[in-house]
Structure 1
């Protein structure tokens, strides 16, 4: 009986510690406006690269980025998946030097670039 209670407590703690998705309070950010505002976009890139301060939403992204890459974004909401594709597409096509810096920091062994190259190619994005 004690053993069963310990198991239930353990699984309860595991379930509480794991969120099904990342925080969604920033899902409604207007990414088109962000893309059009080079200064603001650069601030986010600098945050991710440890070259500048982070706003709360940038810090949330920075804290979850490695996990999202490693887990195929399984905890991402639909808006986060779609938004990340939009931003990635924009950076690769229009701000390649920023993309290259992010790639060096977050994918130095080119694991994720290789993994997603075919998917990006289908969308017309060549790495």
Structure 2
């Protein structure tokens, strides 16, 4: 009976996840790698995340989860999302280092959580 209950819980959880993401509203097909080739798109996405400009649909969905991902050490992140976070932060740090600092300051004002999330996503 316990095994059946556990299976039902797992199936219910997976059913709520679109494409395997714990966050069903995130487009898992978005290629963060493409932002490296398109600095204008990267800047536009960063401006969305930093509340400097309106957000398009895809960045808006990611934005709604950024703080939660950082605070909870990416506990709800699957492998693809961890890869996307790692890729985004790497490109941001390399391409727009001042914006990277602003991003860190906005989402981790105390400077106590961001290093942890970067360490968690590094292997992905």
User: TM-score per shorter chain, which class?
Assistant: 0.7 to 0.9
Structure 2, gaps ≥5 residues long:
1-11
Give the 4+ runs in structure 1 shifted more than 4 A. Answer: none
Distance in 2 separating the partners of 1:39 and 1:67? 27
Partner of 2:55: 54
Greater relative contact order, per chain length (Cα 8 Å cut-off, separation 6+): 2
- Paired with 1:76 and 1:86, the residues of 2 have a C-alpha distance of 14
Spell out the pairing of 1:97-116 with structure 2 (5 A cutoff). 97-116=98-117
Q: Distance in 2 between matches of 1:50 and 1:24?
A: 20
Q: Residue in 1 aligned with 2:83?
A: 82
Q: Which runs of 5+ in 1 are unaligned?
A: 1-14
For the Cα contact (< 8 Å) 2:33–2:88, is it kept in 1? no
Aligned position for 1:64:
65
What is the alpha-carbon distance in structure 1 between the residues aligned to residue 84 and residue 29 of structure 2? 10
Which protein shows a greater Rg? 1
Match of 1:33 in 2: 34
How many residue pairs match? The answer is 106
Distance of aligned partners of 1:25 and 1:114 in 2 relative to their CA distance in 1, 3 Å threshold: closer
> TM-score, length-normalised on structure 1?
0.71
Measure how far apart 1:113 and its partner are: 3.0
For the 8 Å contact 1:27–1:80, the answer to whether it is kept is yes
Classify the secondary structure of the residue corresponding to 2:81.
helix
The residue that corresponds to 2:7 in the other structure is none
**In structure 2, distance between residues paired with 1:39 and 1:82:** 22
Offset at 1:33? 1.5
- TM-score when normalising by structure 2: 0.72
Cα distance 1:81–1:89, how it changes in 2: closer, same or farther (>3 A)?
same
